[in-house]
Structures are given as structure tokens and as C-alpha cells.
Amino acid sequence: MNRYCLIITAFIMTMAGKIHAQQSCCTSPAMAFNNLSLEKEFVEAHLPPAQVRYEPRIGKMVSLKTTDGPEVAVFEVRSGATQGKVVLMFHEWWGMTDQMKKAAEQLHQEAGATVLLIDLYEKKVTYNPDTAAKMMLSLNEQRVRSIIKAAIDYCGKFSKIQTVGWCMGGTWSLQASIMAGQMGYGCVVYYGMPELNARNLAPLQAPVLGFYGKKDLWISPEIVREFDITMKNLGKNFTAHSFDADHAFANPSNPKFNKEATAKANALMVDFLKKNFETPLRKQEVPEGQKD
């Protein structure tokens, strides 16, 4: 192995160890991921995305009540045929951009489900990496959990909930599925920070599908491998797909967009969501009048 390879390998191992230490100390993958915004290399790896303009065709903004403060607006894409099948979608650190609204409408059509695009930044959007870093770093974890709880409550007790998220949103996709508990039927994570605390993973009922970039220096292959081991030890269902791509490869407005990897990941995701929605409603969730 030449000197250059040794340097790169050492850097990757250092980053993996740093992320693990952050989680171990803070016991919060959300905080660990937010703290990556303090890493100059991480910020610089996020090139400004194209400012896509999109006029929603089906979706609309709706307000949800929260228990800790003001109502929160989410972008809802639904039809009568999607009753009881809901995907909670979580945006990247740029916020609820038009690109994300376009993705929500596309997923609604492909998966045949109601999609709730959750606005974690509460109406703040940016295309500047430095500003995005500050916004992510200042994100209040308890407020985000309150927003997610409001979305889960809005879905209704007998809904099948699946979650999808990218980057920062990938971290929250897993956390939302943990929060959904028995209502969780599937979780899709695009290069988000995994939960490595076995106790915190205990409530998770949903199978997890993860997509990662082999060139990702932060949600690295080592981190993914550790999550895989943790999930297997707990008897949880986790499937990972890694592509020869960088972090944030699946955003079409991203200069590092990998079209081939994104197409493969999207096909796998849609198939995963559809199959999970066909899973019978769990016995403890069946309404009294519908029991055998």
C-alpha cells in the first residue's frame, strides 16, 4: 500500500472513530450528524445544489399541531386510494426545497402511498453550504421529535407508516421509524447516521433498507458495517446497498449526482415500500370491530 493510500485509510478510520465517539458520548445519532457541520471537509463536500423550480400538482401544505409549541407545516401528497399507507419523508440539510416536493409527488405515484414531507427547518430553505451547516447545527432535537410525533399522530392509529430520508433526513428516517414502533412497517435510509445504541433500537419493528456511497468519508463503509452487526445482534432486519458514489449521490440537483446509482436505489426502494405495505396489519393494531 503506497503512502497516499495509507493517509486516506487513516483519515477514514479517524472519521469513523470520531463519529462513534460522538454517539457514545451524546447517545444521539442526530447530534452526532449535526456536529459534522463543524467539519470543514464535510461542509465543502456539499456543493450548492441547483435551485429547481417546481409547481406541485397534487400535494399541498397542511398544518399539524405539536405538543411543545406552534403548529408545523408539512407537504402532504395523498389520494383516497392511499388511505392507511403513509410514507414520512425527510429532507436533506438544505430544507424543504422544490426538489424535495417534486420527489414527494413522484414517490406518491410510484409507491401508491400518502407522502408527508416533514419540514424540520420550519419554512427555512437554503442553497448555501455554510448556511445549511449552521441550520443543521442549530436544529433542536426535541423539537424535531415533537414534529415527528405530530406526524405519526396525524397518520391515525391504524396506518402503516414507512419512512424515507436523505443525508440529515436519513438520520431522522431511522429515528422516526423507531418512534413509530408497532406502526412502523419500513424504513429507508440514504447515507444517514445509524443508531448504534442497542437499547434505543429496541422499539424498532420496521425492516431497514440503507443506501450508501463507497466514497462517503462520513457515513463510511466502516460505520455501515458496525450498524449491520448491531442490527444482526438484535435480530433486526437490515439490508445495505453500497454504490461507487459519493455522499449525497441521490439528489438530482446535486453536482455529484450519480444517475445510475440513484435509479437502482429508487427501484429497490419502491419495491421495498410496496411489499411492506402488503404486510398484514399487526394483530395488536387491528380495530376491535375488525377482529376475527
What is the predicted pLDDT for the residue at 80? 82
Task: Spell out the residues 6+ positions from residue 14 whose beta carbon is closer than 8 angstroms to its own.
Answer: none
Q: DSSP for 97-127?
A: -HHHHHHHHHHHHHHTSEEEEE-TTSS----
Whether the predicted pLDDT of 15 surpasses 50? no
Report, as an integer, the average pLDDT of 175-191: 98
CA distance 208 to 115: 18
Report, as an integer, the average pLDDT of 88-100: 97
Residues 22/36, Cβ–Cβ less than 8 Å: no
Whether the predicted pLDDT of 195 surpasses 70? yes
Whether the predicted pLDDT of 285 surpasses 60? no
Whether the predicted pLDDT of 228 surpasses 60? yes
Confidence of residue 7 (pLDDT cuts 50, 70, 90): very low
CA distance 73 to 62: 5
* Least confident window among 23-27, 223-227, 269-273, 282-286: 23-27
Query: Kind of pairing, strands 184-190 and 208-213?
Result: parallel
Q: Helix or strand or coil: residue 272?
A: helix
Which residue type sits at 106?
A: Q
CA distance 232 to 123: 38
What is the predicted pLDDT for the residue at 23? 52
Q: What is the pLDDT of residues 130-180, one digit of tens each?
A: 999 999 999 999 999 999 999 999 999 899 999 999 999 999 999 999 999
Cα 223 to Cα 16, 194, 230, 277: the distances in Å are 6, 8, 11, 29
CA distance 209 to 96: 23
Whether the predicted pLDDT of 124 surpasses 50? yes
Query: Phi and psi dihedrals of 128, rounded to 5?
Result: -105, 120
* Domain limits, the chain: 3-281
What is the predicted pLDDT for the residue at 284? 56
Q: What kind of fold does domain 3-281 have according to CATH? A: Rossmann fold (3.40.50)
Q: What is the pLDDT of residues 32-69, one digit of tens each?
A: 999 999 999 999 999 999 999 999 999 999 999 999 98
Whether the predicted pLDDT of 5 surpasses 60? no
Confidence of residue 245 (pLDDT cuts 50, 70, 90): very high
- Cα radius of gyration rounded to whole Å, the chain: 18
Whether the predicted pLDDT of 31 surpasses 70? yes
Q: 10 Å Cβ neighbour count for 122? A: 15
Q: How far apart are the first and last CA of the chain?
A: 65
Percent above pLDDT 90 for the chain: 82
Average pLDDT, the chain: 89
